[in-house]
Amino acid sequence: MHSSAKSSVLVIYTGGTIGMIKDQETGVLQPFNFDNVYEHMPSLRLFDFSIENYCFDPVIDSSNMQPKYWEEIAGVILEKYESYDGFVVLHGSDTMAYTASALSFMLENLNKPVILTGSQLPLGMVRTDGRENFVTALEIASAMLDQTPVVPEVAIYFENQLMRGNRTIKFNAENFEAFRSPNYPPLATVGIHIKYNHAAIKKPNFRKLRLNANLCKDIAILKLFPGITEKAVRAILGINGLRGIVLETYGTGNAPTEPWLIDALSCAIKEGIIIINVTQCQGGSVDMEKYQTGLALSKIGVLSGKDITTEAAIAKLMYVLGNYKHLSDIRTMMVTPIAGEMSKED
Ligand code: ASP
């Protein structure tokens, strides 16, 4: 588009609220045609890099997100990797944290920015948050320091914060500040200047990008609550072909000590099902050695998800089960930080 431009960013438009504009004649909200991006947002011409796009056809509401679409996004990034300096993925906010987590495991040795953003109000509305989110995401995706991308990882930019993608949760359905990263500091905060937190940003490794497209969907989330019945737990653990469970526990990784629960979980683990313990709290970490109610889980082989989010645990389980054969390797990978998704041991 800009032939004299020094660098270029590929925008991958998957759908979501951000891409909606009003039809001039009917006034109805409809997906934005990115081929006309400079007409809709002339200020983008002020950037000294070019913007090209890849559009999903059809675009989707992110509630319909599926691993096959993650494969499409990651596949486009792999195919176009050498042609662009960075990538912006426009995505609905509802499942953005899952997609960002999945991409962080699928794109091994990523050394360029993949910045996901979206908005709470469509681009075509006067008070939209999409314009600022999009423009800043583009700027971050193209940012270089000493000819090296400043943010060589998968991140979410939303409402003045750049966050590591696999550390985020969508925590608010109403506010412009829709995302949080409870257990990891922001990668950048945005005001008049974009202030990068270089110490928190992943360092490039200069290895060749590799796509891990094989994801296992035979997994489930089991969220504990007072009064959960044995038949509910056994029904979930008895799902045909089940290979892994994200067990959402209380506080620092605690569960009732009722013998039927421990027995059901223990039998599943003996059958080779991976159970990863994630806290229901938004912040903080699993520590199964702290209370007797956690220790019982650790003793039967439940793995600690430490401070991982449920979203990242789901994506990691899909990736690890899809890419490793031996149970011991799978168990080791699940407790080892792979893409900055959990904090290292102190
Ligand atoms: N339901 C929409 C989606 O996730 C909401 C949004 O775009 O923020 O696609």
Query: How far apart are the C-alpha atoms of 148 and 102, rounded to whole Å?
Result: 24
C-beta separation of 113 from 150 below 8 A: yes
Question: Which DSSP letter does residue 329 get?
Answer: H
How far does the centroid of ligand 1 lie from the alpha carbon of residue 121, in Å? 9
Reported as type and span, the H/E element at residue 178 is: none
Q: How many angstroms is it from 21 CA to the middle of ligand 1? A: 14
**Which residues surround ligand 1 with Cβ inside 6 Å?**
15-17, 61-63, 92-94, 118
Query: Rounded distance, CA 248 to CA 276, Å?
Result: 8
pTM: 0.95
* DSSP alpha helix (H) spans, 107-245: 130-142, 230-237
Would you say how long the chain is, in residues?
Answer: 346
Rounded-to-integer distance, Cα 99 and Cα 3, Å: 32
Q: In a mutational test of the pocket of ligand 1, which residue from 14, 59, 62, 96 has the highest number of ligand atoms less than 8 Å from its CB?
A: 62
Number of the ligand 1 atom closest to the C-alpha atom of 63: 4
Nearest CA to ligand 1 atom 7: 92
Residue bearing the bigger pLDDT, 78 or 31: 78
Å from CA of 63 to ligand 1 middle? 7
Amino acid (one-letter) located at 163: M
- Give the number of the atom of ligand 1 that is nearest the alpha carbon of residue 60: 9
Residue whose CA lies nearest to ligand 1 atom number 3: 92
Handedness of CA 174, 133, 66, 325 (dihedral sign): negative
Distance between Cα 180 and ligand 1 center (Å): 16
Q: What is the mean pLDDT of residues 104-116?
A: 98
Give the closest residue (by CA) to ligand 1 atom 4. Answer: 92
Active site residue 17: yes
Test site for ligand 1: of 14, 18, 60, 61, most ligand atoms within 8 A of the Cβ: 61
* Domains of the chain as residue ranges with CATH: 8-211 (3.40.50.1170), 219-334 (3.40.50.40)
**Structure confidence by residue, pLDDT tens digits, 153-197:** 999 999 999 999 999 999 999 899 999 999 999 999 999 999 999
Classify residue 63 by burial, with Cβ atoms within 10 Å: 0-12, 13-18, 19+.
exposed
User: Which has the closest alpha carbon to 306: 328, 334, 266, 329?
Assistant: 334
* pLDDT at residue 39, as a whole number: 80
At residue 2, the pLDDT reads 39
What integer pLDDT is reported at residue 123 of this predicted model?
84
Contacting residues for 21 by C-beta, under 8 A, at least 6 apart: 29, 30, 31, 32, 40, 122, 123, 124
Residue 5 above 60 pLDDT?
A: no
Q: How far is the CA of 169 from the centre of ligand 1 (A)?
A: 14
Cα→Cα distances 40→20, 50, 123, Å? 12, 16, 9
What are the residues whose beta carbons fall under 8 Å from the beta carbon of 192, sequence distance 6 or more? Answer: none
Q: What is the pLDDT of residues 250-291, one digit of tens each?
A: 999 999 999 999 999 999 999 999 999 999 999 999 998 888
Alpha-carbon span 230 to 223, nearest angstrom: 13
Question: What are 44-102's pLDDT values in tens digits?
Answer: 889 989 999 999 999 999 999 999 999 999 999 999 999 999 999 999 999 999 999 99
Q: Is residue 214 classed as helix, strand or coil in its secondary structure?
A: coil
- Predicted confidence at residue 1, as pLDDT, reads 38
Question: Band of the pLDDT at 346, cuts 50, 70, 90?
Answer: low
Q: Which of 17, 99, 117, 309 is catalytic?
A: 17
